Structure 1
Amino acid sequence: MLERNSLTKIRKDVEGCIGKKVILKANKGRKKTTVREGILESAYPSLFVVRICNQYDSTRRVSYTYSDILTETVEVTICDEAQRKIKIS
């Protein structure tokens, strides 16, 4: 039951940050991690979507589940207007 409450809390935290700039650090396995910066675009009951723009002016959308945050496969850091960084966990 603790896990369900944790997933619910993570989902509410993510839903409260829609439209904000985020930094994603994703663990790809075998000591490979990627760090991306984007905007939290939308949140659904089981996943959330981040829009990423790169230096080549192409837009890409990536999606992750809330359990990815719970299992620490993905670290999400919210950047607010005052340039503070808030980690969702």
Structure 2
Amino acid sequence: MPNSIAKIKELLNARIGQKVIVKVQAGRKRVNTLHGTLAKTYPAIFIVHLNSSEDDLQRVSYTYTDLLTHNVSLAFE
């Protein structure tokens, strides 16, 4: 991932609609992995629609700062 919020926003705007694997830090040694599609970007957040109903979640949102601080990582398929 790029090292500035503006570059992260540009990268995600160019990839709307693509399948993505989201890895989220859930604790000291726990990582949650979610599969979905990058749905929409907003000025402060981006939304991922999930493929399956894991824990009854249909969509999740994260901030660009989460990507910058490596609390969330994205891998495009």
Q: Which bin holds the TM-score, normalised by the shorter protein?
A: 0.7 to 0.9
- The alpha carbon displacement at 1:54 in A equals 1.3
More strand by share: 1
Runs of 4+ in 1 over 2 A off after TM superposition: none
Q: Secondary structure at the match of 1:15?
A: helix
Question: Considering only aligned residues, what root-mean-square deviation do their CA atoms show, in Å?
Answer: 1.8
Change (3 A) 1:45 1:25: same
Deviation readout 1:33-72 (Å, 9 max, x if unpaired): 101110000000000000002168x661100000000000
Structure 1 residue 12 and structure 2 residue 10: aligned?
Answer: yes
TM norm structure 1: 0.76
Counterpart for residue 85 of structure 1: none
Q: Distance in 1 between matches of 2:69 and 2:28?
A: 16
- The alpha carbon displacement at 1:30 in A equals 2.1
**Greater C-alpha Rg:** 1
Counterpart for residue 72 of structure 1: 70
| Identical amino acids, percent of aligned pairs | 39
Q: Secondary structure at the match of 1:29?
A: coil
TM norm structure 2: 0.87
Query: Which runs of 5 or more structure 1 residues have no equivalent in the other structure?
Result: 80-89
Count residues in correspondence.
74
Counterpart for residue 48 of structure 2: 50
